[in-house]
Amino acid sequence: MLTLTRRPGQRIRIGDGIVIVVKDVKGKQVRLGIEAPPGVPIYREEIYQEIVREMGEAASIAENDLIDSILGPAGLGGQATVTTPGSIVRKPADGTPESTKEKEEGDED
């Protein structure tokens, strides 16, 4: 992390399009002005963390809904759930795990 010392009125440039201006310093508070292109989102850290948390929850719900609509009870006679991001466990209607059913069906010894 780059650490700089600036006084009120002094600027910091990030790339070609972002300028941070120290507006005022009062005790432990620093007022900053930020100039950035319109497409660059700017958030206070606590707001950004809240957005990330809410997006994660929404994505998890949407992913489960999508999987259930594709592999759900009506389509394949089972229920699909997301256990971790990117992994799907499909439970057939008879309750046996998918991997066990495949071994039993393919095991003709």
Least confident of 22-31, 65-74, 89-98: 89-98
Residue 58 lies in a domain: yes
Residue 3 lies in a domain: no
Mean pLDDT of 32-41: 93
Cα 26 from Cα 31, distance rounded (Å): 8
Domain of 90 in residue numbering reads as 45-106
CA dihedral 83, 87, 92, 95 (to 10 degrees): -40
Q: Please check whether residue 17 is in contact with residue 36, taking contact to mean a CB–CB distance below 8 angstroms.
A: yes
Q: Please check whether residue 88 is in contact with residue 70, taking contact to mean a CB–CB distance below 8 angstroms.
A: no
Task: Give the pLDDT band of residue 86 (cuts 50, 70, 90).
Answer: low
pLDDT for res 89: 53
What's the total number of domains in the chain?
1
Residue reference for tokens 């310093």 = 25
Residue 5 lies in a domain: no
Residue 99 lies in a domain: yes
Residue 8 lies in a domain: no
Task: Give the pLDDT band of residue 65 (cuts 50, 70, 90).
Answer: confident
Instruction: Answer with the residue of higher pLDDT: 68 or 79.
Output: 68
Task: Report the SS3 class of residue 15.
Answer: coil
Round the average pLDDT of the chain to a whole number and report it.
75
Mean pLDDT of 53-81: 65
Q: Please check whether residue 72 is in contact with residue 79, taking contact to mean a CB–CB distance below 8 angstroms.
A: yes
pLDDT for res 94: 58
Residue 56 lies in a domain: yes
Residue 76 lies in a domain: yes
